[in-house]
Amino acid sequence: MKKDIGHRVLAAAKQRSQKADGSAQMHGPIGQNCEGRAQPLILLGASTGGVTALERVLTDLHPLGPAAVIVQHMPAAYLRNFVEMLNRQLPQDVALAKENTPLEDGQIRFAPSNGLHSEICRMKGKWTCRFSPAREADLHCPSVDRLFASAAVYHSDMIAVILTGLGRDGADGMHQMYLAGATTIGQDEASSVVYGMPRAAWELGAVGQQLPLRNVGPAINLAVAQHHENQGRV
């Protein structure tokens, strides 16, 4: 435990320094990147109650870990404030996603509320976000379903998480990812403010692990470590 605390403090200090000087050189078993091998990508979806849930999960993530892309149902002005607050609080680099900009280790990117969906693609060996127009029938924009579904083709490198929220956005997209072989995690009922989105995904059979909120972050870190091990990185 002492070693882990020391590692986290050191990693956080390094990441704070990287924010200040603009450098992004990653070190250590989770942050390292090997030429020609895909880093995993963490995808999260949340709605009602998601602010508190995301604060907890993101705090638990390894500071130098793989990039995370998040859809949180929230009006644009509130979302910008939330992102700015997280960027001040967390050692990671937190910002709104930009189209066709490479996603790097130690970054957390939120899908902007700009009337477009955020989707995942891979360009020149790098994960990136692309924006796509909303359809008239879409209930949510950005949509967790659209984010998850776009990543199903990259299933072996994906870790998808669905957190507290009203409705069922994300269930169908997560089901596609699960069937393809991605790692999928859902928040349990007892720790959810609204057990709507996680319930829909669970009942659809899309959730590989259903966990209390306190265990979601550690489970993501474990999945990242297993991905690295499978790729021969550790």
Q: State yes or no: is 60 an active-site residue.
A: no
Q: State yes or no: is 73 an active-site residue.
A: yes
Task: Please state, in angstroms and rounded to a whole number, the distance separating the CA atoms of residues 16 and 102.
Answer: 20
Q: Which residue's entry shows tokens 């976000």? A: 129
- Is 66:42 a contact under the CB 8 Å cutoff? yes
Out of 62, 73, 117, 175, pick the active-site residue.
73
Q: State yes or no: is 175 an active-site residue.
A: no
Out of 47, 113, 150, 192, pick the active-site residue.
47
Closest by CA position to 43, among listed 182, 181, 179: 182
Out of 169, 191, 192, 227, pick the active-site residue.
169
Q: At what angle do helices 76-89 and 50-60 cross, to 10 degrees?
A: 30
Per DSSP, which regions of 20-115 are E strands?
41-46, 68-72, 93-96, 107-110
Residue type, 139: L
Task: Please state, in angstroms and rounded to a whole number, the distance separating the CA atoms of residues 149 and 101.
Answer: 20
Residue type, 161: V
Q: Which residues does the annotation mark as catalytic? A: 47, 73, 169
